[in-house]
């Protein structure tokens, strides 16, 4: 589709214009990391961090979601929760975070359609930002993606030093950008070439590689392999890997109420906790850390590819960055590839 450019100094004007009509989520600097937050002015945005701590999944699949409201007691009533129809814009989403949604779609829009996710998904425009300088643990290239991938966003920005290349990827993106035509100029051939250069440099910057060939099938045969014991021994079961993972989507449902009103809420949960699979009977089908670590890997690299035909990992590397005991998903998968059956 169309390629445009915007001068860096015009970017703030454009974003502020978007903010007028939409709810804009963008990375905001917290103490020494960034997080997606609703911004009211471009000045709040900080693009210097590569990845926000909590991935963009939290915008469509909130950590705490109210499912419905009720009044407790014998004359209790159930009221449905209204789903806001506001237009969302996720600004400066990286390609790995944007890929999240194509992985989560089968879960939330599959057999059962989650109305909250669906509404937000339909209402959101993803404005991507290419990574010029990937992190140590980035490995999106292992999945055939690129740090400047156009595949999962509506509009892709690429920082070309002084100006941004604006690639319009989808129809929705085109429609969206039509309102803001005045900020852009057409992209020249040089601009596209310099993007290619930037992209190539970024790809070269990604040094870690996960070898995925045949892993999914191989995992099917090594459920009881000793590598799970070896890797799980050091796991402390903190669950951080699942909270910062862009594709982990397990949740728990709870009732919260006062004497007069209450709500059923949905909160993120983690398969790394023993409580997650704890039955009311007292039995726990995943009693040991080994079972849980194995399940995390299997879910992403075996069950998900089998059921949905897509690997449940985007290669953002957050789980490696935040793991305090150096459980390294790249290493584990490479070990699986090399393991003797």
What are the residues binding other proteins (CB under 8 A)?
30-33, 35, 53-54, 63-64, 66, 69, 81, 133, 135-137, 207-208, 230, 233-234, 236-240, 242-244, 252, 254, 256, 258, 261-263, 265, 267-268, 270, 273, 275, 287-289, 320, 322, 324-326, 328, 330-331
Nearest distance in Å: CB 154, other proteins: 27
> How far apart are alpha carbons 104 and 318 in whole angstroms?
17
> How far apart are alpha carbons 240 and 319 in whole angstroms?
7
Nearest distance in Å: CB 12, other proteins: 25
What residues contact 325, with CB distance under 8 A and at least 6 apart?
Answer: 234, 235, 236
> How far apart are alpha carbons 285 and 277 in whole angstroms?
7
By beta-carbon proximity to other proteins, the closer residue of 288 and 310 is: 288
By beta-carbon proximity to other proteins, the closer residue of 31 and 74 is: 31
> How far apart are alpha carbons 43 and 253 in whole angstroms?
37
By beta-carbon proximity to other proteins, the closer residue of 123 and 257 is: 257
Nearest distance in Å: CB 89, other proteins: 22
Distances (CA, A) of 151 to 144, 170, 316: 11, 9, 16
> How far apart are alpha carbons 213 and 311 in whole angstroms?
12
By beta-carbon proximity to other proteins, the closer residue of 9 and 77 is: 77
Nearest distance in Å: CB 240, other proteins: 4
Nearest distance in Å: CB 30, other proteins: 5
Nearest to 312 by CA among 267, 261, 245: 245
What's the token pair of residue 49? 């961090």
By beta-carbon proximity to other proteins, the closer residue of 217 and 261 is: 261
Nearest distance in Å: CB 308, other proteins: 26
By beta-carbon proximity to other proteins, the closer residue of 197 and 234 is: 234
CA dihedral 309, 337, 96, 108 (to 10 degrees): 30
By beta-carbon proximity to other proteins, the closer residue of 15 and 45 is: 45
Nearest distance in Å: CB 161, other proteins: 20
CA dihedral 25, 34, 103, 240 (to 10 degrees): -140
* 3-class SS of residue 318: helix
């Amino acid at each position: 589709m169309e390629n445009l450019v915007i001068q860096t100094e015009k970017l703030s004007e454009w974003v502020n214009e978007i903010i007028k009509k939409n709810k804009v989520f963008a990375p905001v600097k917290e103490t020494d990391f960034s997080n997606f937050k609703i911004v009211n002015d471009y000045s709040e945005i900080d693009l210097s961090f590569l990845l926000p701590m909590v991935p963009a999944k939290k915008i469509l699949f909130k950590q705490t979601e109210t499912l419905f409201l009720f009044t407790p007691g014998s004359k209790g009533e159930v009221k449905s929760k209204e789903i806001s129809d506001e237009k969302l814009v996720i600004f400066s989403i990286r390609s790995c975070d944007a890929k999240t949604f194509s992985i989560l779609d089968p879960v939330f829009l599959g057999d059962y359609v989650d109305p909250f996710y669906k509404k937000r998904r339909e209402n959101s425009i993803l404005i991507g930002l290419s990574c010029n300088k990937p992190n140590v643990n980035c490995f999106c290239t292992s999945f055939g993606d690129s740090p400047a991938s156009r595949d999962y966003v509506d509009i892709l920005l690429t920082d070309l030093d002084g100006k941004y290349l604006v690639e319009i990827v989808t129809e929705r993106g085109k429609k969206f950008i039509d309102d803001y035509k005045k900020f852009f100029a057409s992209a020249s051939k040089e601009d596209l070439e310099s993007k290619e250069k930037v992209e190539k440099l970024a790809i070269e910057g990604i040094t870690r590689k996960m070898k995925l060939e045949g892993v999914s099938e191989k995992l099917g045969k090594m459920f009881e392999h000793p590598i799970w014991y070896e890797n799980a021994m050091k796991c402390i079961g903190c669950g951080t890997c699942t909270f910062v993972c862009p594709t982990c989507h397990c949740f728990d449902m709870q009732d919260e109420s006062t004497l007069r009103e209450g709500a059923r809420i949905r909160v993120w949960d983690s398969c790394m906790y023993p409580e997650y699979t704890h039955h009311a009977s007292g039995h726990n089908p995943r009693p040991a850390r080994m079972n849980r670590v194995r399940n995390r890997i299997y879910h992403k690299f075996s069950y998900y590819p089998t059921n949905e035909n897509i690997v449940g990992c985007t290669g953002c590397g957050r789980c490696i960055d935040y793991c305090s005991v150096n459980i390294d998903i790249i290493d584990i998968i490479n070990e699986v590839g090399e393991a003797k059956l």
